[in-house]
Structure 1
Amino acid sequence: MKIAFVGKGGSGKTTLSSLFIRHLAARAAPVVAVDADINQHLGCALGLDEAEAAALPALGDHLRLIKDYLRGDNPRIASAETMIKTTPPGEGSRLLRVREDNPVYDACARPVELDGGAVRLMVTGAFTESDLGVACYHSKTGAVELCLNHLVDGRDEYVVVDMTAGSDSFASGMFTRFDLTFLVAEPTRRGVSVYRQYKEYARDYGVLLKVVGNKVHGPDDVDFLRAEVGDDLLVAFGHSDWVRALEKGRPPRFGLLEEPNRRALELLRTTVDAAYEQRDWERYTRQMVHFHLKNAQAWGNERTGADLAAQIDPGFVLGEAAVTTA
């Protein structure tokens, strides 16, 4: 299952995504966690100190390795240089699995020990001073999109992505790569404004969206959110002494998280698992092709000097059958 956490800056999406990752790890579920936010805080939210988080390998620094591995012997892709962030897999491509070991995970993922288990953590890498004025942050998230395009995950396997804040997630087709998107919203007018943007943008792509209220202080806040987002409101998180201790760098044992918040996390998990029944690999593949063609026409063909539409394998559908064939 692929899950995205989105929301405006400061809404608490990184905190809630880290709590959800901890909840899954406590159930011994296999998890790949990805920090795709411009502000890289997921590692620290999962218990790493600042030095450990800063030492995590950046996906963007290993883009050539990622492309070489995923390209495999796909005859439609002439070289790694002609692969862009939206390049879809085809016959001969290598595909990623959550539970396996492979060169991409070896180079880009690091295990993080949590209560009850460990997760694999990957990060895009911070936006550095050398990037200012010459680079777009979405060029860094391209490695994430490329990996998601080649990832086949199954039931009871989880890929949790902490996305960049606000509506920036729509700068690429990555917002369609998820089985379920949790939009974290505070009970304020600004808090729900990102929800309206996301709902509007996602409507034509069948994106399954649920709102998770955060920083809720009472029934009036829940009523406000319900009035603004309707049935899209799934659950709301209130004050947490456990989270306050986490933010101070002294998180207690995860089993001590408040019971209402534990129940809320379990509702997130059961909602995610139910979404598995709606998975449509053919639609997922069509959306990959759609955004690849858009990017090819907008900039990819010119940048690579190739007709990137030729990379599309018309008979290929991503899914378990593709893994078996590969």
Structure 2
Amino acid sequence: MRVAFVGKGGSGKTTLSALFSRHLARSGAPVLAVDGDINQHLAEALGPEERPAVPLGPHLTGIKDFLRGDNPRIASAGSMLKTTPPGRGSRLLRPLGDDALHARHVGRAGGVPLMVTGEFDESDLGVACYHSKLGAVELYLGHLLDGPGEYVVVDMTAGADAFASGLFTRFDLTFLVAEPTRKGVSVYRQYRDHAEQFGIRVAVVGNKVTCEDDLLFLKEQVGDDLLTHLVHSPWVRAAEQGRASGELEPHNHHALNVLRETVDAQVRDWTRLHRHAVEFHLRNAHAWANDRMGEDLAAQVDPDYVPGVPTGA
């Protein structure tokens, strides 16, 4: 299952991404955490960094070349977009598989395998947008054959900025982290309205709840979309200060169990995932890429490709 954590900046989505990833890993479940936020703090939130992850963003061309494999519809890595969907001959991946991409780019922090997009550095200023780095995550998820009981947890960019690419359609479930404030739920309304157009399920996770009035506020503002909530956590604050000991508070631990049960109840819809991938690829092709590449990139879409099945099978 592919899970995204989104929300207003400062809502705690990175903290929740880390808590949930560690929760899964400690249960023995195969999990990969991915830092897709412009502020690259997920490794720090997960815990001690055991092996730094090589950032995906600077190696996007090589990742494209690797993933296109022997797909005859893609002439070169240069003509491959971040939206290019897989087809027959493409190299499809198993989560944390024995392949060159995972071997190079997966690090480890807090006992959790981790991929990172990389920071927005000085060379990018004024000439690039962060979504070019996120393109590697979009391609990775588009070429991933993950199955039941396998988890990819992505800490996304803050706010509604996640809609600047088609990446938001690549998940089985999106958790929107909301504080009990008007600003905290404003991003929820934006995300809900955009996601509804594509049949994307958004579940709200209340965070930093301190009293019954906070919880009532969230219930009034988001209704049935409120899945669960976490109370203000001294344990998390201590962890952020590098002095945590003991265990997460029982209520917050229960909330993590609710998140997992909700994810596990989802049914993968390969057809929907692939349909959205093709739709956003064609949007980009028609909007700008055909002119820039000098070719009709709609031809990269393989009409006979069966999503969710290894190519050649």
Determine if the TM-score, normalized by the shorter chain, exceeds 0.5. Answer: yes
Pick aligned residue for 2:302 from 308, 313, 321: 313
Contact 2:178–2:206 at 8 Å: present in 1 too? yes
Does 2:41 correspond to 1:41? yes
Does 2:88 correspond to 1:91? yes
Partner of residue 81, structure 1: 78
1:68 Cα deviation (Å)?
A: 1.4
Does 2:99 correspond to 1:112? no
Partner of residue 32, structure 2: 32
**In the aligned structure 2, how far is the partner of 1:318 from the partner of 1:161?**
21
Structure 1 304/249 Cα, relative in aligned 2: closer, same or farther at 3 Å?
farther
1:252 Cα deviation (Å)?
A: 2.6
Code of the residue aligned with 1:142 in structure 2: it is G
Partner of residue 127, structure 1: 120
**In the aligned structure 2, how far is the partner of 1:112 from the partner of 1:101?**
19
Contact 1:124–1:143 at 8 Å: present in 2 too? yes
Contact 1:7–1:194 at 8 Å: present in 2 too? yes
- Deviation per CA, 1:96-138: give whole Å up to 9, x if none: 1114121111121113342xxxx32011100111211111111
Runs of 4+ in structure 1 off by over 3 angstroms are none
The answer to which structure has the higher helix fraction is 1
Pick aligned residue for 2:154 from 139, 158, 161: 161
1:219 Cα deviation (Å)?
A: 1.1
Does 2:290 correspond to 1:297? no
Gaps of 5+ in 2: none
Structure 1 257/16 Cα, relative in aligned 2: closer, same or farther at 3 Å?
same
Partner of residue 175, structure 1: 168
Contact 2:5–2:13 at 8 Å: present in 1 too? yes
Code of the residue aligned with 1:98 in structure 2: it is P
Does 2:255 correspond to 1:258? no
Gaps of 5+ in 1: none
1:221 Cα deviation (Å)?
A: 0.6
SS in 2 for 1:316: coil
- Alpha-carbon RMSD: 1.4
**In the aligned structure 2, how far is the partner of 1:47 from the partner of 1:303?**
43
Partner of residue 230, structure 1: 223
Does 2:59 correspond to 1:62? yes
Number of residue-to-residue matches in the alignment: 313
Does 2:258 correspond to 1:267? yes
Partner of residue 209, structure 1: 202
**In the aligned structure 1, how far is the partner of 2:43 from the partner of 2:295?**
38
Partner of residue 188, structure 1: 181
Partner of residue 310, structure 2: 323
Q: What's the TM-score, normalizing by structure 1?
A: 0.93
Partner of residue 240, structure 1: 233
Partner of residue 20, structure 1: 20
**In the aligned structure 1, how far is the partner of 2:295 from the partner of 2:245?**
54
**In the aligned structure 2, how far is the partner of 1:250 from the partner of 1:137?**
33
Identity %: 64
1:324 Cα deviation (Å)?
A: 6.5
Q: What's the TM-score, normalizing by structure 2?
A: 0.97
